[in-house]
Amino acid sequence: MTTTAIVRTACAKVILCGEHAVVYGRPAIALPLAHLRTRAAVTPGGRAFHISAPDIHAEFDMTSDATRPLAVLARLTFELLGQPPIPGTLTVASDIPPSSHLGSSASVAVACARAIAAFCGHELQPQDAGNLAYEAEKIYHGSPSGIDNTVIAWEKPVWFVKGQPAEGGNSPIALLDVQTPILVIGDTGVATPTRVTVGDVRRGWEAEPGRYEQLFDQIGATVIAARDALQVDDWHALGAHMNANHALLQQLGVSCHELDHLCEAAQQAGALGAKMSGGGRGGNMIALADDEQQAEQLRVALRNAGAARVM
């Protein structure tokens, strides 16, 4: 165990294609956003393991508030290491807005698990960090797919199918040899927790399983087509598949006026494709640009259309 503060970080993420259907076994593609990060620091001292998250005005001890997501995460991390809880303070700060569908909760969980492990003298493998974060994600979101904690823990583009191991092990299938597309992200400024839309889709699926399974199949087909376009750098085809994915998500009822408005503004400004990204009914949309000059045009168009911020 170290006697000085230990800091570890984790990135944000964006879903390129496949959200919601991925919960039901269809594939999805996610990309890491390295420039947006969560920082978790563990400082030794005190009589218990204390957790401080000033961004969300949370202060609690691991044992006194044992059911909170970060308390569960801390307990499971110590258990994985075969280590009893060590007195100290875990402090969390993040650049990622909560409920923006950029993976805020998964990023917090991965950073915290990494910091606790490092405090105990260990470095977590990506698979372990992702598995620990998934346990916290289940408390945050109810029935998450696992894609957020996976792409954030590995910090690589991933092809993800829930419950399906990759060749050679349990890691996600990483898209190691693809060129990352130029994406402009527009934030609606509307914060809607992922659990709300995930829960609504679940209720819709339970009421109309045939209709929803057909939509999930169509989304899965667009994801496969998007992967094929991504692997050969066919940005025009990728954009068309993104547009198709957004239209299907509209049919699922998880888009909203603000997201649709920003997508339309991006398309009118020349985007190759535009779609909501993440849980929906707020949060962010993504627009695909052909080059940096077009990306700047999209940034301007999204700001003029009322985006709360553009990345």
pLDDT digits (tens, 9 = 90+) for 211-222: 999 999 999 999
Q: Which among 174, 209, 225 is the end of a domain? A: 174
Instruction: Give kind and range of the element (H or E) at residue 8.
Output: strand 6-17
Q: What's at 33, amino acid-wise? A: L
Which residue stretches of the chain have pLDDT < 50?
166-172
Task: Report pLDDT for 169.
Answer: 41
How many domains would you assign to the chain? Answer: 2
Model pTM?
Answer: 0.86
Q: What are phi and psi of 264, to 5 degrees?
A: -65, -40
Task: Report pLDDT for 175.
Answer: 56
All residues at 6 or more sequence positions from 44 whose CB lies less than 8 Å from its CB, including other chains: 1, 2, 3, 4, 5, 86, 87, 88, 119
109, 136 contact by CB (below 8 A): yes
Q: Are residues 52 and 105 in the same domain?
A: yes
CA distance 6 to 41: 5
Task: Report pLDDT for 158.
Answer: 87
Q: Are residues 31 and 123 in the same domain?
A: yes
Residues known to be catalytic: 148
115, 7 contact by CB (below 8 A): yes
Task: Please work out, in degrees rounded to the nearest 5, the angle formed at the alpha carbon of residue 108 by the alpha carbons of 102 and 112.
Answer: 155
Q: Are residues 301 and 225 in the same domain?
A: yes
Q: Are residues 188 and 302 in the same domain?
A: yes
CA distance 100 to 111: 18
Q: Are residues 227 and 85 in the same domain?
A: no
DSSP state of 109: H
Q: Are residues 81 and 142 in the same domain?
A: yes
Residue 296 lies in a domain: yes
Q: What is the mean pLDDT of the chain?
A: 91
Digit-coded pLDDT (tens) for 50-96: 999 888 778 888 888 888 989 999 999 999 999 999 999 999 999 98
